[in-house]
Chain A
Amino acid sequence: MRLNRQRQIVEAHDIRLESQIGEAERFGDLMRRMARENRLAMVSALVILLFILGAVFAPLLSPYSASEMDMLHRLSPPGAGHLLGTDEGGRDILSRMLYGSRVSLLVGVVPTLLSMALGAALGMLAGFAGGWIDALVMRLADIMLALPSMLLAMVIMYTLGDGLINVFLTLSLVNWASVARIVRSQTLSLKKSEYVEAARVIGVKRPVILLRHILPNCLPTLIVLFTLNVPAAILTESSLSFLGLGVQPPNASWGLMVNVGRQYLYNAPWLSFVPSAAIMLIVLAFNFLGDGLRDVLDPHLKNN
């Protein structure tokens, strides 16, 4: 009888908490607020959208074939015929950029999703379970973070071997540790919150608490981390490919284009600077958007 009443109270409390959050500011409202107050973030979102559209509709948008050589028009500078010039094989750079963006964007998004899933799962587990599981996960994270990310990526790439899939795997393995750390500390503070305590008192099962109470509360942080980790992944991939250790031909990514173009830096600088500028632009856009999201979703994260 008493337990029932308690459950009622907790559930009422719980519902109120959730509806309070819902009433206070729904996700859509938050986005609208950001759109109003932070024009830079909105412009950035637009830029990212344009890049995505470019990647998706690359075959339609490309003025030339991205792979067909044209030895008569090698290394021609940007101009009327070829908007961004041609490369050492006479291929249209704009077309190659559009196709290359598919790899460069995917490599930003897919590994980041994987590493965030891994990091969030391990972080919540460590924070919630505590004890030796916590110690193990966190020491593992320490070890991953002690190795500079470029070097870690290089070692993993060496182990896995070349190939696009391996680039994805490598980047996923590189970034999970910092996510795990942040999610763990959030889980720890949520664990102490009244409604999780209450849920525990009345015997709600642990997996349910994790999924229904802790995960939703970590979501804003995860969204912000996602927008900030995507550009980091893009940069790591481009650096790997720049060193010739990442994406291999015939696949094309912007980083690889810079790598190839470097041999022609002095007579055809656009070969490396056009893809470099694209990387910079997309990274800048994601950073602005991430900052904007952080300001509305999770101001506390600023100190991390």
Chain B
Amino acid sequence: MKQSLLRRFIQAVIVLLGVALMIFIMLRVVPGNPVATMMGEHADIDTIQRMTAELGLDQPIHVQFARYVLDALRGDFGTSYSMGKPVSQLMAAAFGNTLALAVAAALFAWVVGIACGIVAAVRKNGLLDHLFMGFSLLGVSMPVFMVAMLLQYVFAYHLHWLPISGVDSWKGYILPAIALGWNSAGSVARLVRSTLLDVLQQDYIDTARAKGRGQPGILVLHALRNAMLPVMTMMAMQLSSLLSGAVITETVFSINGIGRLAVQAISGRDIPLLQGTALFTTLVVVLGNLLADSLYAVLDPRIRREA
């Protein structure tokens, strides 16, 4: 068990390094000298050359990469071209917002998704089942920006229930969280329903009935615990995709998070910032997947014992 987790950890480190290298190379092959872009049209050639040397951009690419990785390990992702501040500082400020948004979205997605999934499974082929499953299909097919704008238009602009944008108070998180969690709620509901229906067919459910358990007890004590195994894994992976997938939601609701930072980096042709946000996001995803793996191992006694 420990060994397999260790192996996964090493794999994660390799993947992370690979992503760093890939992004690094991709951003280096962009035509044009980034320093010249940064300094604007009027900079003279001497200054550009001095800056290039100062930033180490005249070094061979593997030296640049090694230096970047070593700096990154110390938490230094360089200085943003467009904002003039350390990338780490910008990201730290943005991460709080993204984290709050992702956690709120996850709470919405999981509570709604699990509840709807259970009801749909218990009332299989009933009205609520069809209703919830229809909604969840809409959930996976609606583009995020559509959900976000619909919510904004109806609940903020028309009904004035909630703020249109910004996260000055906790109310500001409600609409973005629903918009971001909408998709995930749909997939959680579908997974809960299908695993629960599958589990309810298992022999040990008959055993539980044979010893005199009633329907609610069977659902909670026997069926849900087994059905939650794959659901938990999905949820752990969703947390990372919610953290990394907030670009659109953050843009629509003007929330200063990591995703919006990445968009700003692109429009400002800001390589260190784009590199930093991409790497940071990857780190979050890789950690999330690692968490999902270990969670499964902790929850399922069959895996816990193996390896």
Report A's interface with B, CB cutoff 8 A.
139-140, 142-143, 146-148, 150-151, 154-159, 161, 231, 235, 238-239, 242-245, 255, 258, 262, 265-266, 269, 272-273, 276-277, 279-280, 283-284, 287
Q: List 6 A-B contacts (CB under 8 A).
A: A146-B282, A148-B281, A231-B141, A239-B145, A243-B263, A276-B143
Question: B11 to chain A: which residues have CB within 8 Å?
Answer: 142
CA distance A277 to B138 in the complex (A): 11
Given A142-B15, A147-B278; A258-B141 close (CB under 8 Å): no
Taking a contact as CB atoms under 8 Å apart, the answer to whether B153 and A269 are in contact is yes
Question: A140 to chain B: which residues have CB within 8 Å?
Answer: 18
Question: A277 to chain B: which residues have CB within 8 Å?
Answer: 146
CA distance A262 to B11 in the complex (A): 42
Question: A238 to chain B: which residues have CB within 8 Å?
Answer: 143, 145
CA distance A270 to B277 in the complex (A): 34
Q: Which of B62-70, B87-95, B239-247 contacts A (4 or more CB under 8 A)?
A: B239-247
1/0 per position for B53-74, CB-CB distance to A under 8 A? 0000000000000000000000
* Residue B189 interfacial (CB < 8 Å): no
19 other contacts beyond A151-B278, A158-B30, with CB at 8 A cut-off?
Answer: A142-B11, A143-B18, A146-B19, A147-B23, A147-B278, A148-B245, A150-B247, A151-B244, A154-B263, A154-B274, A156-B26, A161-B30, A235-B143, A239-B248, A245-B266, A265-B149, A273-B146, A276-B142, A283-B142
Q: Tell me the interface secondary structure of chain A in the complex.
A: helix
Taking a contact as CB atoms under 8 Å apart, the answer to whether B15 and A287 are in contact is no
Considering only CB atoms, which chain A residue lies closest to B18 in the complex?
A143
Taking a contact as CB atoms under 8 Å apart, the answer to whether A283 and B145 are in contact is no
Taking a contact as CB atoms under 8 Å apart, the answer to whether A155 and B27 are in contact is yes
CA distance A279 to B145 in the complex (A): 11
Our count of residue pairs bridging A and B at CB distance below 8 angstroms stands at 125
Taking a contact as CB atoms under 8 Å apart, the answer to whether B138 and A284 are in contact is yes
Given A143-B19, A245-B263, A265-B153; A151-B247 close (CB under 8 Å): yes
Q: Which residue of the partner chain, among A245, A266, A287, contacts B153 with CB atoms under 8 Å?
A: A266
Question: B266 to chain A: which residues have CB within 8 Å?
Answer: 154, 157-158, 245
Taking a contact as CB atoms under 8 Å apart, the answer to whether A142 and B278 are in contact is no
Taking a contact as CB atoms under 8 Å apart, the answer to whether B27 and A262 are in contact is no
CA distance A243 to B244 in the complex (A): 15
Taking a contact as CB atoms under 8 Å apart, the answer to whether A280 and B281 are in contact is no
Q: Which residue of the partner chain, among B18, B30, B241, contacts A139 with CB atoms under 8 Å?
A: B18
**Residue in A139, A151, A265, A277 with the greatest tally of chain B CB atoms within 10 Å:** A151
Distance (Å) between the CB of B198 and the closest chain A CB? 11
Question: A148 to chain B: which residues have CB within 8 Å?
Answer: 241, 244-245, 281-282, 285
Give B8-24 interface residues, CB cut-off 8 Å to A. Answer: 11, 14-16, 18-19, 22-23
Taking a contact as CB atoms under 8 Å apart, the answer to whether B14 and A139 are in contact is yes
Question: B267 to chain A: which residues have CB within 8 Å?
Answer: 244
* Residue B144 interfacial (CB < 8 Å): yes
1/0 per position for B24-47, CB-CB distance to A under 8 A? 001101110000000000000000
Question: B303 to chain A: which residues have CB within 8 Å?
Answer: none
Give B207-256 interface residues, CB cut-off 8 Å to A. Answer: 241, 244-245, 247-248, 251-252
**Residue in B11, B267, B274, B278 with the greatest tally of chain A CB atoms within 10 Å:** B278
Question: A244 to chain B: which residues have CB within 8 Å?
Answer: 267
* Residue B102 interfacial (CB < 8 Å): no
Q: Which residue of the partner chain, among B16, B26, B149, contacts A155 with CB atoms under 8 Å?
A: B26
Taking a contact as CB atoms under 8 Å apart, the answer to whether A146 and B286 are in contact is yes
